[in-house]
């Protein structure tokens, strides 16, 4: 069982927007602005999409945005494209002794 | 652009020690400022952080694996390594090496990953 809770799957049609949630506790998501999001296509390594809750690394489309409210962080993808179909994982610093914890992942299907 | 590449046996017998090496190119481990981590992903499952090492050799491990994990660094070869002892089938996973800016808590650079299967 993962430390952070994500929905197993979400779906949307091209052009639409979707949001993936990531719920933790005050010891991780809620207590620190160190939430990151990763995109993983089948057979590939994860790719950093968002860091520090809402910052995008250079080269990541501005269709990807992040936010946080209380113990829940969210990743929003606007203007869905076929290439966005992938697994998405959230991660957070944790004040427990585990350094970082990950969510169980969310499979995004573009209909 | 820093690149990381994992290498090591793809098959390990139960109770033996899993050994993997990550070779870094395009940047020097000894320049400091980064933590060099191992992360694994069980088949069809989520990600699990295993531990990291700093260029100085200081380490930090996931408490759930700490008793079986050793991470070491060879700055002369620009490599860092993972050893996981007393493996079982539950250690079958894709193992990634990754880099994060010290204290950033996010991983910008990843290796391609290597599948390690524990089976007799």
What digits encode the pLDDT tens for the residues B45-87? 999 999 999 999 999 999 999 999 999 999 999 999 999 999 9
Residue B33: its H or E element: none
| Distance of residue A2 Cα from the nearest chain B Cα, in angstroms | 7
Report pLDDT for A96: 85
Q: For residue A54, what are the contacts with CB-CB under 8 A and spacing of at least 6?
A: A65, A66, A67, A68
Are A24 and A6 contacting, i.e. CB atoms less than 8 angstroms apart?
no
Q: For residue A27, what are the contacts with CB-CB under 8 A and spacing of at least 6?
A: A94, A95, A96
Closest by Cα among B95, B51, B44 to B69? B51
Are B41 and B113 contacting, i.e. CB atoms less than 8 angstroms apart?
yes
Report pLDDT for A98: 82
Mutating which of A45, A60, A75, A93 best tests the B interface, going by the most B Cβ atoms within 10 A? A45
Checking if the pLDDT of B106 tops 80, the result is yes
Are B80 and B23 contacting, i.e. CB atoms less than 8 angstroms apart?
no
Report pLDDT for B102: 86
Checking if the pLDDT of B10 tops 90, the result is yes
Are B38 and B51 contacting, i.e. CB atoms less than 8 angstroms apart?
yes
- Distance between CA atoms of residues B42 and B105, nearest Å: 21
Strands B11-12 and B114-118: parallel
A45/B96 touch (CB, cutoff 8 Å), yes or no: yes
Q: Which of A47, A93, A97 lies at the smallest CB-CB distance from B105?
A: A93
Report pLDDT for A3: 84
Band the pLDDT of B97: cuts 50, 70, 90.
very high
Largest CA distance in chain A: 41
- Distance between CA atoms of residues A51 and A38, nearest Å: 9
- Distance between CA atoms of residues A34 and A43, nearest Å: 27
| Distance of residue B105 Cα from the nearest chain A Cα, in angstroms | 6
Q: Which regions of chain A are under pLDDT 70?
A: 1-2
């Amino acid at each position: 069982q993962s430390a952070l809770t994500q929905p197993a799957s979400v779906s949307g049609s091209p052009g639409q927007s979707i949001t993936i949630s990531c719920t933790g506790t005050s010891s991780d998501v809620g207590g620190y602005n160190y939430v990151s999001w990763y995109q993983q296509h089948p057979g590939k390594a994860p790719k950093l999409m968002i860091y520090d809750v809402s910052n995008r690394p250079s080269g990541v489309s501005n269709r990807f945005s992040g936010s946080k409210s209380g113990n829940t962080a969210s990743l929003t993808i606007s203007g869905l494209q076929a290439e966005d179909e992938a697994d998405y994982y959230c991660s957070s610093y944790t004040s427990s002794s585990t350094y970082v914890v990950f969510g169980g992942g969310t499979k995004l299907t573009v209909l | 652009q820093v690149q990381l590449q994992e290498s090591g046996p793809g098959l390990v017998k139960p109770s033996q020690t899993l050994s993997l090496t990550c070779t870094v190119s395009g940047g020097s481990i000894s320049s400091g400022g980064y933590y060099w981590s191992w992360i694994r992903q069980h088949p069809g499952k989520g990600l699990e952080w295993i531990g990291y090492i700093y260029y100085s050799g200081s380490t930090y491990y996931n408490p759930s694996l700490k008793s079986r994990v050793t991470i070491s660094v060879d700055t002369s070869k620009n490599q860092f390594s993972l050893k996981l002892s007393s493996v079982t089938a539950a250690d079958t996973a894709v193992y990634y090496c990754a880099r994060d800016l010290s204290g950033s808590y996010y991983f910008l650079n990843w290796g391609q990953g290597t599948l390690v299967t524990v089976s007799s």
